[in-house]
Amino acid sequence: MTATLRQMTMDDLPAVMKIERDTFPLDAWSEGMLRGELDDQPRTRHYVVALVGEEIVGYAGLFAAGDQADVQTIAVSETHRRAGIGGAMLAELLAEAVRRGAQSIFLEVRADNPEAQAVYDRFGFGRIGVRRRYYEDGTDAIMMKKDLNA
């Protein structure tokens, strides 16, 4: 399955919000939050969607300012996982962070999300700390970092 990536626009929000709600039923971002992110694109944000044919099957977003960047979000619809799409989007976010001059990139991931942690491990992120009970349901957040200038 080959996916193509392109920049996310406001027109993509209905399809993106469907994946968002399916993927994060307990703590989905609102459409307004995502609009706010896109409003700041390209200044401090870079959001991409992944397409298989005409269908949006995933999306990911980067925050970048100064020498630091963050992975804001990443999701692939359940039926399209383990096909390299999440990895392709993460690679694009890392490349954009480098293009923007970031020295390091950070993210937070739920302690009970081994799938996402496996992706981040594979891309060379290391664990730098834990935020106890960071999420509303009491789950810890694991903070991860990758140096981009190595």
Q: In the complex, which residues of this chain contact ligand COA (CB under 6 A)?
A: 23, 74-76, 81-87, 109, 113, 115-116, 118-119, 122
- Shortest distance in whole angstroms from residue 31 CB to ligand COA: 18
* Residue with nearest beta carbon to ligand COA: 86
Q: What are phi and psi of 10, to 5 degrees?
A: -55, -35
For residues 78 and 101, which CB has a smaller minimum distance to ligand COA in the complex? 78
Q: Cβ of residue 50: shortest distance to ligand COA, in angstroms?
A: 8
Among 33, 43, 40, 44, smallest CA distance to 69 is for 44
Closest by CA position to 45, among listed 66, 58, 62: 62
Cβ distance 28 to 20 under 8 Å? yes
Quick check: 140 and 111 in contact, CB under 8 A?
yes
61 or 86, CB closer to ligand COA? 86
To which residue do tokens 């990911």 refer? Answer: 60
Contact in structure between 38 and 77 (CB atoms under 8 Å): no
The smaller minimum CB distance to ligand COA, of residues 81 and 100, is found at 81
**Minimum CB distance to ligand COA smaller for 43 or for 82:** 82
Q: How far is the CB of 20 from ligand COA (least distance, A)?
A: 9
